[in-house]
Amino acid sequence: MQLTHTPARTFLGISMSMSLIDNRTVELWRQFMPRRNDIPGRVGPELYSLQVYPKGYYQRFSPATVFEKWALVEVAPGTVAPEGMTLFQLPEGEYATFIHKGDVAAFVARLQYVLQEWIPASGLMLDERPHFEVLGEKYRNGDPESEEEVWVPVRRP
């Protein structure tokens, strides 16, 4: 686990509203992937899975709570969104970052540890900014050897 500061960044992609009960992640990525290489102004080959949770999402957690999930690539500022896609502006801020290797069950356990133990012990607080995962060259959907970089927004009290 480490603290990482990111400047404001520009992304481009598509989003869907969903909950953990009505998880539409596969549908989202099926729509996005055929178009990913046609995006102008790309900055790097990575894909980004980003979640915008409603205020207080983790304080009043329910798997039925709807949030917005994005499939994105990073683009240069000033990039014009092609039809059917939207620009997303990530604000500057601090993140607790870690590499997750393995399946979804291990991811859930690791995220619980970060949210319930690591962040409180660090003297930081969970922030209300977007959460995201960087799906780089070691990411292999469904593979137990898959790796992704997880970014959890934090702030000083």
> What residues does each domain of the chain span?
9-91+98-103+126-149
pLDDT of 1: 87
Q: How many CB atoms lie within 10 A of CB 148?
A: 22
Question: Given the structure tokens 């409603």, which residue do they identify?
Answer: 54
* Helix extents (H) in 52-150: 104-113, 119-122
The mean pLDDT of 122-134, rounded to a whole number, is 96
- Confidence bin at 52 (pLDDT 50/70/90): very high
Give the amino acid at 31: Q
Residue 103 DSSP label: -
